[in-house]
Amino acid sequence: GDSVTQMEGPVTLSEEAFLTINCTYTATGYPSLFWYVQYPGEGLQLLLKATKADDKGSNKGFEATYRKETTSFHLEKGSVQVSDSAVYFCALTKGDYKLSFGAGTTVTVRA
Amino acid sequence: EAGVTQFPSHSVIEKGQTVTLRCDPISGHDNLYWYRRVMGKEIKFLLHFVKESKQDESGMPNNRFLAERTGGTYSTLKVQPAELEDSGVYFCASSPFPGEAFFGQGTRLTVV
């Protein structure tokens, strides 16, 4: 079945550091790919998405590019802030409304 | 516009008791989903409603879980009787179309 694997956390880094969270997927066909974020005390929010190969999703300084050749959708941000501390989830769907999530990566940014 | 609302935010119950979780989706969203995250692992799909009908309940773990969606509006997820392994965070989401799921804050269920 479809699955998502993302790097294990937790990840701790200093403000203004570069952040990468790796995500790879296994799926037949052409899934859409997502990054969701859960800030402390809040629900899951869609951070960015990409619906076809080579698409780049971006939001709040975060970017991820849909790489079909490597089945990857790595999340990057060039300069993190304390407010980026959250749990990040990579996910996919093939249009059947059902999302398949990775295990989540906890990111803590220190001032 | 109000988002997806879940009640309660936390629940602690004893093994063998019954718990009912409620989800109010965004108004006008026909699609409603339940997901669960257990022990810090991946978030797993439980089921999907389209209006009041169960479209896909392939992720429901066993017959101790019962989901309903009255009149295609709010939904409830009942666990009866609860077991220790049911502890986790239960998320509800709604969407007007594929992939654009809007999630609630989740209900943290602890079974002791």
- A14-33 residue pLDDT tens: 999 999 999 999 998 889 99
Region A105-110 average pLDDT:
97
Of B74 and B41, more confident: B74
Does the structure show a pLDDT above 90 at B71?
no
Give the whole-angstrom CA distance, residue A26 versus residue A100: 10
Does the structure show a pLDDT above 80 at B34?
yes
Q: Which residues of chain B does A102 touch, with a Cβ-Cβ cutoff of 8 Å?
A: 42
Nearest CA in chain A to B33: A98
Q: Which residues of chain A does B43 touch, with a Cβ-Cβ cutoff of 8 Å?
A: 44, 89, 91, 99, 101, 104
Nearest CA in chain B to A97: B98
B16 close to A (CB below 8 A)? no
Nearest CA in chain A to B4: A43
- For the stretch A94-104, pLDDT in tens is 876 789 999 99
pLDDT, position B20: 98
Give the closest-approach CA distance of A92 to chain B in angstroms: 8
- Mean pLDDT of all residues belonging to chain B: 93
